[in-house]
Amino acid sequence: MANQEQKSIFVTGAGSGIGRATAQLFAERGWFVGLFDINQAGLDETAASLPEGQRLSMTFDVRDRAGWTRAVDAFGQATGRRMHVLFNNAGVGKGGLIEEMPPEDIDLVIDVNLKGVINGITACLPLLRETPGARIVNTASVAGLVGAPRLAVYVATKFGVRGLTEALDVELSRFGIRVTSLMPWFIDTAILDNTGAPGSNRALRDQLKDTKTPIYPVRMAAQRAWDAAHGSDIHYTAGKEAERAKFAARFFPNLVRNQMRKTFRVD
């Protein structure tokens, strides 16, 4: 149970990667942390790394609106109906040439990465409105800035999260709620291991190593999530390449597209 002075954050995708690292960072800095994930084993590992009185954990699927209702109710009971930050972080990465992607993979990516984010915002909005200075942080990606081949559906969802963030930062300002996004470069998480083409044993991580593309530690992304929860900007990149991509996508889009062709060879 959170005390009255303690700030609170609701973290989806907390069972691994950026979600776990962010939960740990906020807990280290005194926050009460709600841990939510579809993966019970991963969630248990994250929970074990946080002080017992400083966290709540529950499994649910961000595609499930009823699951959101249960999770938000439990979080509200633990925090006295306060939610200072919603970290909409749960995501999946499945890629491949568009004509080779199974329909169920396409649906999964869209339903988790975009619809799951929208589900979270609508479910959490009542608590956020009751919490002065509340904020929503949505995990987008550098893929929300630059379209990469073999990741078209994933890219579409991240462009969508970016646009959603910009629209809602204006729309929800009438409630005093800020909406920002985290836009990391490639981060050392499991998502790099399951975005290869169907039928191939080569994951995105392998392609990045082949092209000597930097992969950044997950703690860096967590620190930028902290910045996104406190700063005045709307989008927060993680990694020098992400900042360069943001600049280049705006001012040199043709150069960016040519670089994508080199990095992600489409034969």
Of 117, 134, 143, 220, nearest in space to 179 by CA: 134
Query: What tokens appear for 21 in the block?
Result: 């690292």
**Residue 236 annotated to the active site:** no
- Selection from 210, 219, 162, 209 nearest residue 189 by Cα: 219
* The one catalytic residue among 10, 68, 87, 154: 154
CA distance 229 to 124: 16
Q: Are 28 and 55 in contact (CB under 8 A)?
A: no
37: β partners: 59
Q: In what order do the strands lie in the sheet with 178-184?
A: 55-59, 32-37, 8-12, 85-88, 135-139, 178-184, 235-238
Residue 161 CA to residue 85 CA, distance in Å, equals: 17
HSE-CB at 142 with a 13 A cutoff on CA atoms is: 23
Measured between alpha carbons, how far is 201 from 195 in angstroms, rounded to an integer? Answer: 10
Dihedral sign from CA coordinates of 111, 112, 117, 121: positive
Instruction: Enter the DSSP assignment of 87.
Output: E
| Residues designated as active site | 154
